[in-house]
Structure formats: C-alpha cells, structure tokens
Amino acid sequence: MNLIEDQWMPVRRKDGSRDWIAPDRLSNPDIVVFDADRADFNGALMQFAIGLLQTTAAVESSTTWRQHLASPPDAQTLRDWFAPVAEAFNLDGDGPRFMQDAALATETSALNPVSALLIESPGVSAKF
C-alpha cells in the first residue's frame, strides 16, 4: 500500500455518499469533508493533507496560493506534485517503512498495541 497512490482516505460527497480516494483527488469539488469513523481521525487526515501539500506544492508566492484557492489544481497536477515523494509513503516492504523508527527495540516486551495510539487509551501509569 502507498499513501500517495492508493485510495485510503474516507470522504463524504455532496450527494451524501461515502467514498475512498487517493490524495490526488482532494481538489474534486464533489468532495465536501473527510469522513473517518472518528473525529480525531478526520483531524489527522486534514493534517496529513495539509502537510503533503505544503511539502510538495511548487508554490512560490502568496499570489499563487490565492490562485490555487480560486481554481484548485486538478488531479494530474496533484499527482505530479506528489510523485517525487511517493516512494517514501510505501507501507509494505523490507525494513522500516513510512513513519517507522529503525532505532526502536525489536524485543517483544518493547512492542505496544496499535490501540495505544488512540486518545482514550490509558497511559503506562494507569491503574487497573
């Protein structure tokens, strides 16, 4: 899976339907909001999209930003912007992948469940 090329972002369309898109479809005017099952996930999707655009968009001035706001780039333009960094967003493969720390210990005792990342998850000092 690749976070740039694959359809993984849940969105709601104007007609109320839910769809899954790749980031290059974000400027589609039919898309009105991110539609993850949790509000904090929607916030993370927004932050991901903003960071991706800020990192890859070839925008030299505030005038150009205003032009893109008035007339958003099409899917092909977004694909062209994202292409140079797409390989860094592969989730599958040998060795550490996107957002993985190669320096972490590999002992079983050092592993934490994915649920530990969620806001309602108790911390290490919680008493049961």
For residue 11, give the amino acid letter. Answer: V
Report d(CA 89, CA 69) in Å as an integer: 26
111 φ/ψ sector (left φ>0, alpha ψ -120 to 50, else beta): beta
Q: For residue 31, which phi and psi values (nearest 5 degrees)?
A: -90, 125
Confidence of residue 109 (pLDDT cuts 50, 70, 90): low
pLDDT digits (tens, 9 = 90+) for 67-89: 988 999 999 999 999 999 999 89
pTM of the model: 0.79
DSSP notation for 29-64: TTEEEE--SSHHHHHHHHHHHHHHHHHH----SHHH
Structure confidence at residue 22 (pLDDT): 98
Structure confidence at residue 19 (pLDDT): 98
Report d(CA 25, CA 78) in Å as an integer: 8
Structure tokens at 5: 């090329």
pLDDT digits (tens, 9 = 90+) for 17-33: 999 999 999 999 999 99
Would you list the domain boundaries of the chain?
Answer: 9-95
pLDDT digits (tens, 9 = 90+) for 45-67: 999 999 999 999 978 899 988 99
Residue written as token pair 């903003």: 50
Reduced to 3 states, what is the DSSP secondary structure of residue 1?
A: coil
- H or E element, residue 18: strand 18-21
Structure confidence at residue 110 (pLDDT): 63
Q: Is the dihedral of CA 111, 117, 121, 125 positive or negative?
A: positive
